[in-house]
Chains A and B, each alone.
Chain A
Amino acid sequence: AQKVTQAQTEISVVEKEDVTLDCVYETRDTTYYLFWYKQPPSGELVFLIRRNSFDEQNEISGRYSWNFQKSTSSFNFTITASQVVDSAVYFCALSETGGSQGNLIFGKGTKLSVKP
């Protein structure tokens, strides 16, 4: 069965610290997509990244980086030199391809608080 687990419910760091948000997924599909979204207090889900299962290359975008490892079914997200504006709930999500219409399966989210 498909599932996304974000074991960290809440994380609190001090500004400029690095922080890693964990995501572990389960799927029987060989082709799938993984996503990270940010949900600030305003409530809107903001798209951060999309990876397909054939592309295990890690990605860096400014202070954000993602580590995709199929061997451990993990897609972790690291924020370097965190800032107060990074405070939000972060969701990891999975989209399967076999027989699915593409709906996203979300984890429960990790609430990140960055204190000045």
Chain B
Amino acid sequence: GAGVSQSPRYKVAKRGQDVALRCDPISGHVSLFWYQQALGQGPEFLTYFQNEAQLDKSGLPSDRFFAERPEGSVSTLKIQRTQQEDSAVYLCASSSTRSVGYIKETQYFGPGTRLLVL
């Protein structure tokens, strides 16, 4: 079946603009994660959804970052008033089950959105 898809693949924004990044998880996947990957670094956790509930947003770097998953499938990561330090690849991942307790299922990643803020 189809994997995780993300759009757009590339986004150039002027400093101060708002951007919206979309993630389509694997069909039926309950858990959805967003990560930020700076150049030359490993991905870093931003936020986690279980169905439509945002259970963990501890990784969001500022209140300019906002994520939603209103119907428990597609998710959008919005960045308001973008700054140059927001330039990074934003990765979305999904997994098949609830991420609770001792069972941590494998996360499958999308191709990412490369954001460049000028």
A binding-site residues for B, Cβ under 8 Å: 4, 31, 33, 35, 37, 42-47, 50, 91, 93, 95, 97, 100-109
What would 9 more interface pairs be, CB under 8 Å, given A44-B111, A103-B45, A103-B48? A4-B42, A35-B106, A43-B114, A45-B93, A45-B109, A46-B109, A91-B42, A100-B104, A108-B42
Knowing A103-B56, A106-B42, A108-B42, the reply to whether A97 touches B111 (Cβ < 8 A) is: no
Q: How far is the CA of A41 from the CA of B7 in the complex (A)?
A: 18
In the complex, residue of chain B having the shortest beta-carbon distance to the beta carbon of A53: B102
- Point out the residue from B45, B55, B56, B112 that lies within 8 Å of A104, measured CB to CB: B45
- Chain B interface extent, by class: 20 to 34
Knowing A101-B56, A106-B42, A108-B42, the reply to whether A43 touches B89 (Cβ < 8 A) is: yes
Selected A-B contacts with CB under 8 Å, 12 pairs: A97-B102, A100-B104, A101-B56, A101-B99, A102-B33, A102-B107, A103-B45, A103-B56, A105-B45, A108-B40, A108-B41, A109-B42
- Point out the residue from A42, A46, A104 that lies within 8 Å of B43, measured CB to CB: A104
Q: Given the complex, which residues of A lie within 8 Å of B93, measured CB to CB?
A: 45, 104
Q: How far is the CA of A59 from the CA of B95 in the complex (A)?
A: 23
